[in-house]
Structure 1
Amino acid sequence: MNYQNTLAFAQEQDKQDPLHHFKNQFYFPQVNGQDAIYFCGNSLGLQPKSAQRFIDHEMYKWANLAVEGHFKGEEPWFNYHELLAGGAARVVGAKESEVVIMNQLTVNLHLMLVSFYRPEGKRFKIITEGGAFPSDQYALETQAKFHGYNPDEAIIELFPREGERTLRIEDILQSIKEHGEELSLIMMGGINYYTGQVFDMEAITKAGHEVGALVGFDLAHAAGNIPLQLHAWDVDFAVWCTYKYLNSGPGGTSGVYVHERFGNDPGLPRFAGWWGHDAQERFKMQKGFKPMAGAAGWQLSNGQILTMSVHRAALELVEEAGGMEALRAKSEKLTGYLEYLINDVHVGEDVLEMITPRNPQARGCQISLLVKQNSRVLFDKLMEAGIIVDYREPNVIRVAPTPLYNSFEEVYRFSEILHECLEGVK
């Protein structure tokens, strides 16, 4: 695409954008009495205007049916999670039986590690990316300790080559091969939260299986951001949150994917709860756990109906927009325009460096800017000017224009303000 650094070009792209009207279906925070330019969907997505209606519907049922809401009225709470399975499955590229919405992200990660990190003999090591999101690091560290291993010996962290910012796929695959006989699990982010790099999940899964390891992914920054094909890629398990690119509210519910070969294995070790028990026998209140088929067999407690209702509203917007393929098509253009404008306005790599891959296939919506001078000052100036982005220590500003509610004009105006702020912090 031939980009231009003009307001007229940006406005023309918005006129041609089939998703442009979705911007009106979200609330934007106000800065200085105006809608902020909100490029922070990688941290917390905006509130869909429809969310209140979905919550109010469940509040009405609670008020008028109370406990009977589990079984009576429209969409009983007893099987509310089933209302979300189809939309969630299409977001991550799975069969409906392979996904369930429940709990929160790190809870679900631990539940998956109980089932899929089964160290035995010399096969006890875990491969992950260096500098993974802290929750992932802590989960792997404490799971290794739980099994009696020293995390420094059990966890293999992969870092970029000296002088580089992102991991090379050939280095990941080589490490899997080198540690194959000792490898129990590969557990990485689908997208690295810091750099915004998309990992080749299909190649990593294939390599892991070839050496006898299981493979799972934390899709917190990938679900709702890039198209995924978890079943086709033969991924063993995955977890994700719904409050970033899936716009389902702060602390919102989480998703789990379990490949069907495991979902139909009642003998697989797991931590169980009554909502994962055979639904036909659940209220007999008898001991002896019989898991439901599929990912639903990992449920612990009855559904978080209010947060799940927000997620339902958000999934309906994704469907209305044409699904992940339509969102990705706009995202590539929008992020490409951001990259073009950053290249056009910044004052050199001695001040500002883009550490996100240049290849559109190796990134999602996010571009991470490493600021080499006065990084916090620049961030504060952007925020004061009505640009909501986020800051990650020690000196990275993450900028994430999302296709459902951001526009080309906003990207253009961001570049203008970035230029002004850079001039102000020299």
Structure 2
Amino acid sequence: MPKSNSIYAGVEDVELCSEEFAKKEDNKDKLTKLRGEFIIPTKSDLANKRYGFRQSKDASNSLHGAQEDDGEESIYLCGNSLGLQPRRTKEYVNRYLDTWASKGVFGHFTDYEGGLPPWLHIDEAIKEQTAKIVGALPSEVVVMETLTANLHLLMTSFYRPTKDRWKIIIEGKAFPSDHYAALSQIAHHNLDPSALITIEPPSSSAPYLSNEHILSVISHHAPTTALVLLPGIQFYSGQFFDIELITRHCRALGITVGWDLAHAVGNVPLKLHDWNVDFAAWCNYKYMNGGPGVIGGAFVHERHSKVEEAPSSETDGAVDGVYKHAKTTELQYRPRLSGWWGSDKSSRFAMTNKFVPIPGASGFQLSNPSALDMTSVMASLDVFSMTTMDALRQRSVRLTAYLEARLLRYAGSEPPYTIITPSNPAERGAQLSVLLKPGLLDNVLHHLEKKSVVVDERKPDVLRIAPAPLYNSFHDVHRFIVVFHEACRKAIAAPDEAPQLSDGVPEAIATT
């Protein structure tokens, strides 16, 4: 396997592979301090058969040291599936619980000193920071529902098949939930499943999709295509699609384009407004660290979410035997499935059954959001507010380049794996996917588990390794490589041993 062309390509092997090098990289990066905003599970935490911590812990994790429970920090490189818990999450959630316990229903409307925003307005309170992360106007984003539910709600509004345009284009290895959602939308309109077009890799041996290939498939089906739905970052390979280029191409062809940003939000800088994306949806539990299955988010470009008055029309008629002449005014807005939380706040509690859609993405809401979920997302957003996505991206590029350089230096022999994530930093986020030689995965995972290394796998042979720039360190990467290479050598030495993984640490993270 060749050496990387990255920023670490010129560093001698002895220096690059030393623990001291990793520590120096951490010490000179000012964003390393953000690690202290998160709870890093220790090895003894992961080995503990009870929920929670093995013993009481100090209020802070050291960067490289041991914990009060005499357990070393685990190596957690799985933020692409579930982000770690910010330290402030428990404080924020306790404030929510205290408000609920002491104020009851008044917590919906009253702004209490030292408390969180009233639950009625908590969705507004997190709009600005959410908008910064996805590159949007605050009015274009909303925190609501969950990822697949939001995709369905948005496709109900944006997928409007006609006799001329009825197809949906997705990528061939789309995350299953996206595939199911697109197929069910097609079925909802009583169309044949052949209306779903998939963009398959040109080579069966690699998952890479070039821009040229993506655009050519879209162009080929453009006359009959109603919607393109693609991931910002492909969950399996970690490829970062050129959202701006693909969006511009679709719009030039008159095709609506939406994006699943589950693996992109909080990972890479986005400019959804400037790129003229029609709509997007995401979850808040991966790089956004909101907690398992927490409430998701959605973007709708302002051009699609305006609420305008239709021209007045005059009506004549008799009501209760009395002839009346009146002028009526109706509102024009994009069709969507509606609920009371998408109706104007001033009329929301009037119970008149007259829907007054909120301009912007908030008009796509259905029910009142979980205040508990919103509180958890707010805690993570407040950590993000301590830096910028551009600064996080710079750190992420260096972290991933270091991981790549270390993976490419496998002492003594040819490595038993290949990196299937693009080597171009512009085409990847914080994740590198490693394809192991057949038959090695279970043995490698078994050894990683014993050493309290948390990554995730995709059967039959792929490991996904994701150093999240908010809390992962260069030292994490160094420690991972030491254990991973040892695991590979042991798996090669005993290929027929197929261990049963213990009940302590799961074999794989089943989320996306």
Identify whether the pair has TM-score above 0.5, normalized to the shorter chain. Answer: yes
What pairs with 1:57-68 in structure 2 (closer than 5 Å)? 57-68=95-106
Q: CA RMSD in A?
A: 1.3
Whichever of the two has the greater Rg, that structure is 2
Q: Does 1:90 align with 2:102?
A: no
* Superposed CA offset, 1:159-211 (max 9, x none): 11124321011011111111111010010110000000000111111111111
Counterpart in 2 of 1:223? 265
Contact residue 346 and residue 422 of structure 1 kept, 8 A: no
Counterpart in 2 of 1:332? 397
The TM-score, its normalising length taken from structure 2, stands at 0.81
Deviation at 1:349, TM superposition (A): 6.9
CA distance in 2, matches of 1:346, 1:378: 17
Deviates more, 1:25-34 or 1:70-79: 25-34
Counterpart in 2 of 1:12? 24
* Superposed CA offset, 1:370-395 (max 9, x none): 11132121122112211100011221
* Superposed CA offset, 1:204-262 (max 9, x none): 11111111110010000000000000000000000000100011101111010000011
Deviates more, 1:380-389 or 1:244-253: 380-389
Counterpart in 1 of 2:350? 284
Contact residue 80 and residue 303 of structure 1 kept, 8 A: no
Counterpart in 2 of 1:353? 418
Counterpart in 1 of 2:79? 41
Q: Identify which of 273, 297, 315 aligns with 1:255.
A: 297
CA distance in 1, matches of 2:350, 2:160: 32
Contact residue 119 and residue 125 of structure 1 kept, 8 A: yes
CA distance in 1, matches of 2:39, 2:21: 26
Gaps of 5+ in 2: 1-6, 45-70, 308-331, 493-512
Q: Which secondary structure state, in structure 2, belongs to the residue aligned with residue 345 of structure 1?
A: coil
Deviation at 1:29, TM superposition (A): 2.0
Contact residue 345 and residue 415 of structure 1 kept, 8 A: no
The TM-score, its normalising length taken from structure 1, stands at 0.97
What pairs with 1:313-324 in structure 2 (closer than 5 Å)? 313-320=379-386, 322-324=387-389
Deviation at 1:31, TM superposition (A): 2.1
Counterpart in 2 of 1:367? 432
Deviation at 1:105, TM superposition (A): 0.9
Deviation at 1:351, TM superposition (A): 2.4
CA distance in 2, matches of 1:358, 1:260: 35
CA distance in 2, matches of 1:394, 1:409: 29
Q: Does 1:308 align with 2:374?
A: yes
Q: Give the AA of the match of 1:37.
A: I
Q: Give the AA of the match of 2:375.
A: S
Q: Give the AA of the match of 1:41.
A: G
Counterpart in 2 of 1:158? 199
CA distance in 2, matches of 1:355, 1:264: 43
CA distance in 1, matches of 2:393, 2:216: 30
Deviation at 1:34, TM superposition (A): 2.5
Q: Give the AA of the match of 2:31.
A: L
Q: Give the AA of the match of 2:197.
A: I
Q: Which secondary structure state, in structure 1, belongs to the residue aligned with residue 212 of structure 2?
A: helix
Counterpart in 2 of 1:378? 444
What pairs with 1:61-80 in structure 2 (closer than 5 Å)? 61-74=99-112, 75-80=117-122
What pairs with 1:268-279 in structure 2 (closer than 5 Å)? 268-279=334-345
Q: Give the AA of the match of 1:351.
A: P
Deviates more, 1:384-393 or 1:91-100: 384-393
Q: Which secondary structure state, in structure 1, belongs to the residue aligned with residue 346 of structure 2?
A: coil
Q: Which secondary structure state, in structure 2, belongs to the residue aligned with residue 238 of structure 1?
A: strand
CA distance in 2, matches of 1:348, 1:298: 56
Counterpart in 2 of 1:212? 254
Q: Does 1:389 align with 2:455?
A: yes
Q: Does 1:105 align with 2:171?
A: no
Counterpart in 1 of 2:230? 188
Q: Which secondary structure state, in structure 1, belongs to the residue aligned with residue 30 of structure 2?
A: coil
CA distance in 2, matches of 1:358, 1:392: 20
Q: Which secondary structure state, in structure 2, belongs to the residue aligned with residue 284 of structure 1?
A: coil
Gaps of 5+ in 1: none
Q: Which secondary structure state, in structure 1, belongs to the residue aligned with residue 298 of structure 2?
A: strand
CA distance in 1, matches of 2:39, 2:285: 15
CA distance in 1, matches of 2:410, 2:237: 21
* Superposed CA offset, 1:345-365 (max 9, x none): 278777211110000000000
Higher share of residues assigned helix: 1
Q: Does 1:133 align with 2:162?
A: no
CA distance in 1, matches of 2:180, 2:397: 33
CA distance in 2, matches of 1:330, 1:23: 13
In 2 relative to 1, CA 346–183 (structure 1 residues): closer, same or farther, beyond 3 Å?
farther
Deviation at 1:122, TM superposition (A): 2.2
Query: What is the total number of aligned residue pairs between the two structures?
Result: 424
Contact residue 228 and residue 258 of structure 2 kept, 8 A: yes
Q: Which secondary structure state, in structure 1, belongs to the residue aligned with residue 385 of structure 2?
A: helix
Deviation at 1:303, TM superposition (A): 1.9
In 2 relative to 1, CA 257–347 (structure 1 residues): closer, same or farther, beyond 3 Å?
farther
Deviates more, 1:6-15 or 1:370-379: 370-379
Counterpart in 1 of 2:213? 171
